[in-house]
Structure 1
């Protein structure tokens, strides 16, 4: 607001006293006008401020009374709607913003309405989930029926799209189901509940004491392999629980249990039992695992002299049956290889004469008169059907010529009693039997041997061959390899030696256990494998809890037993032995009690005074004054149900008084 202030009048020159008074009065009026204008300005400014504050408060109140629906959030949507379930329940959140959508996949036989050919769509609108399309039966004529507003006396409805839940007023209890859906026929399914007074029987409307509820199961743990749907914390008559088992288990009992009007579940709760395949054996075969649960894979290995016919592994299926089980069939007897009768011209052999010889048979050769032996004097029939080392030859000796032999020449070289050294083939094939002076011949090591020093040549000097210094030794094969969880026992590591695999305690050999050092300087076969021994599932004990190792139960695994009630009799711990069996029979849980103790004369007792007397209960005895206790002060209730040691006795204390003279 603007206030106009008039300027003071111009000064006036006083010409008389009257004029002076008039001037003073005019000045006072001007000052009063200024004060009035100043006060008006202050008052108007204060009004403007209060108007601004009032306007702000009014707008805030209107915003609280009429909030913007777009600012309302929706709670987590239901996992399922009528004839449909959420497409991805794993990504569900606790809060959704306005116009956000969730999708439901229609069940078999139903299809989405509203033009979406894949999913039913629900949108968050003003804080509530509103269906944009629903799951309708395929081929059904779309209906536009709507359900009337659900009303339950003494209760309030909470609507979310086509579904509604109820909350009873204080002092009332709800009967029937918890959630209701608007059906295509325009009715609520199932029928709406009732809110009855807490002091009224929900079944007969007769006075009772407390609210009728069914105690929900709270002893199902993850190890029970059971899943329960429908748990609410408090279950009332008509509520339904659905039970299912995880993979590898099957339900023993009804899958649906209903809370009855008497506060009891009907039928009784089911159990999930492990699906097991029956035990099986393969004749002449060995199994690496004795477990029988679903998805267990068992490897079958045939014993020596047998071969596998069928798959090498067998799997326990979810149906409780094994996949195809193989057989171990006997190997066809190998045709024994033999060596043919040796043909060494101009020789005489010692040993059995025949057309063929078995492995290991040996022959010794000597040459007829006029011939000399080139090669080993003894050969042996090898496993491959060949003579080892190779057969010798008998070469004709040179007859002395009528002409004197030129000086310095040498006869054909001979080598006796050195089976590991042979004359090189180049000289054996030569037809000449006379070598001029200075000639040289070369020698080589037999198969499986290598030079170990010395010269491999001999030279003809002055009609004599120089001595052969060549030395041959067996080839080395080195290490036969490392056996995991085992080791090799060697006869040696050179040509002709063998190495035999041995497993550590608690492991079994798979594959051929023996390797041979070959003439090539390498070991034949492969390194065997030592697989850990498996024990069957430990036996269950009635009224006991087992702890410790889990499947698979292998060598040295330990399990312990603890009685839920009663006293444990037997070994508390079992371990898997190297033979694939448990160390001892399982213990038992016995309810052990001892008989009532008879009174001991002249004694009082402390400890466990009243029956029943359980295992480890103890009672102590104290003799009355003037008596002495004979025996043990305390007796205990033993595991055999008897008191030990024997009860004591109280004997009168005898005091001797000696009277002097």
Structure 2
């Protein structure tokens, strides 16, 4: 609030002063806007609650959407956030501000609208195709499945990437399209070791092979490798080194009973006179 008239240096008992609301505020009944000088030369207190901010018009929820007032009110300085239900996307500004213009309050833009999500056909790929390739418009969550064409050569095409794509947003597919190409990893040879699983004549994309070392050798690296889309084994094929791999032993006691725990998987029950830890 603010004084309507210029203040005087001195007021007599019984004199009154008139208050008014500042710009951007309006008077709210039944609050008093007049203060009176009391016999003890004090003013009868008045409340600022008599003036409230000018409000913007309440916004309507868009079809298939809703408006949320972030600040819980619609007076100037407030914000309105718009959103759409699943399967629809927002066209327009998602956030509006209630602004003061002169003595009135207005939203700083038109309300957005919600429109149905659709997708254009997904990208075509070399050496492959996808289902429903005769459709021009895909609805929200509709999906296609990619497959690779038969390869006239000795090695088949491998599908690299996601085989299933679905319409996840306005003109947006769930992921980039896959790729169809020949993936051929070299024979998985392990000197001083042997292959124990994943036998095949040809090793294509995601072929998996498992190894073990011969007696007297230990393995450095992973015992399982996978043929990657770059036609290399990942992780690299391990190495079999001669000797015994260094292992740590830990002794656990409970009374006179001792459990000797070896590295990773070996467990032995033994009895020792005292606790110990040693390496070999």
Higher helix proportion (structure 1 or 2): 1
Higher relative contact order (CA 8 A, sep 6+): 2
Q: Which has the larger radius of gyration?
A: 1
TM-score normalised by length of structure 1:
0.24
TM-score normalised by length of structure 2:
0.47
